[in-house]
Structure 1
């Protein structure tokens, strides 16, 4: 702007019982972009409705730069060349899975350091898989009925016996917890092998044979994670962990 002070005018809801969070984000974004801000508070519902009617908009906040209306928070981000803050309805994302796997790996390393003063050990790998099973089960258990409904889209056993979709996350959680403690492998190993194998076959058939485009229920029934590599990996992890823990319990592996 050729050295001129950059200014923006913002209209946002600041009421006694509600302050619009996107209004706060708008102010913060403009400050970080070096703008001086004329911050106009809409303090009543009537004032907010009148503003919307005057400018022909459905939402606030609204930002104006150089007398031109930019729009809401997402429009402002786009104006500055940034990605939208909110994903579109139905838009796929791997972020939930990345967050879970990253957190469980860091947690496994932290406990390994506490126990063995080393970040990367065999125990780190075991904890990473078992913690991931527990965290993924927790996502499913937040709304187990939604999970079981999405699960019916592709799981071969759940399609034949519907209650399996409700039981599955409890089994995954139980196996993960027991494996984390290295307790009762006679229970955890069969559960892990059973649900992992059924899951892997179901996903492989749905994605790679039938070529179906589905959402994965691996992080809950309301997720937008595509069915495919992630869900197959979850099931292969359970199979590998079951085989590893079984071999360890039988004394075939010593370390």
Structure 2
């Protein structure tokens, strides 16, 4: 523990060193202070106000980053270490590099938007259009993730998509097809164009995912939420593609029902 810190008897005392400079206030330092206080710790807050002071602190304590937190005589470490200390995250060696969180967040927002549109349009939360909007809005939001970095998306997409492997440009076109189909189906416009696009890309995607995961037994990340996605390729990815396929079929047959 730093020599200039107070030695209280309370187990609820902590010492925090963080960068607070005229042109830079470390966000992880602010997060560390907030996390400690929310867990009932009194924080002895030390500011490192110059680059020289920060470098000297790191050299003195043999650390490479700030902020640094001590609880009692134990150095906890930085913000990530503090989250482990409070059991908010697992230790680094137990963490998975995959997560369904990004795609689940998108589906949740799409569902709420669909419910909102249904309420605004019909005065009811649950209608047939709610389901249609949920699928079309999910497509649009997922496409938005891909369009942020089409190059990275296309690279990840090539790991498993059967058409993209034969025609590389498909990986660059796909996000625009998905976004266009999703927007048109949300609006209920040009369905003669949007429905076949949704059907085709959904079918290709479903076959590609099924082959990669269930036949070839490959462990891959899905490009569905963009090129930097941590979503594992599997059931959720297959469900997404089948939903697009089903939406395309439904939009084509709906006028005849």
Paired residues in the alignment total: 249
Q: Does 1:37 align with 2:43?
A: yes
Aligned CA RMSD, in angstroms, stands at 1.9
- Equivalent-residue separation in structure 2 for 1:4 and 1:141 (angstroms): 52
Give the direction of change, closer, same or farther, for the CA distance of 1:7–1:89 in structure 2 (3 Å limit). Answer: closer
Matched, 1:11 2:20: no
The 1-side partners of 2:253 and 2:138 are apart by: 21
Partner deviation per Cα, 1:124-183 (whole Å, 9 max, x = no partner): 000000000101111111101111111111111111111011111101111111111111
Unaligned runs of 5+ in 2: 1-8
Residue-by-residue CA offset, 1:34-64 (whole Å, 9 max, x unaligned):
2222110000111000000000001111111
* Runs of 4+ with deviation above 3 angstroms: 84-90
2-structure distance, mates of 1:203, 1:218:
11
1:88: how far off?
Answer: 9.1
Cα shift at 1:67: 2.9
Runs (5+) with no aligned partner, structure 1: none
Residue 236 in 1 paired to residue 242 in 2? yes
Question: What is the CA-CA distance between 1:77 and the residue it aligns to?
Answer: 2.2
Q: How does 1:189-208 map to 2 (within 5 A)?
A: 189-208=195-214
The equivalent position to 1:252 in structure 2, one of 236, 251, 256, is 256
2:186 pairs with 1:170: no
- Say if 1:74 and 1:86, in contact at 8 Å, map to a contact too: no
Q: Check whether the contact 2:164–2:170 (CA below 8 A) recurs between aligned residues.
A: yes
Q: Distance in 2 between matches of 1:60 and 1:133?
A: 41
Question: CA separation of 1:224/1:124 partners in 2, compared to 1, >3 Å: closer, same or farther?
Answer: same
TM-score (norm 2): 0.92
**Residues 11, 71 of structure 2: 8 Å contact kept:** no
Change (3 A) 1:82 1:90: closer
- Mark the CA change 1:45 to 1:89 in structure 2 (over 3 Å): closer, same or farther: farther
Tell me the secondary structure at the aligned position of residue 180 of structure 1. Answer: helix
The TM-score, its normalising length taken from structure 1, stands at: 0.93
Question: Does residue 1:127 correspond to 2:133, yes or no?
Answer: yes
Give the secondary structure class of the aligned counterpart of 1:203.
helix
Instruction: Say yes or no: does 1:25 pair with 2:31.
Output: yes
Q: Does 86-95 or 165-174 show the bigger shift?
A: 86-95
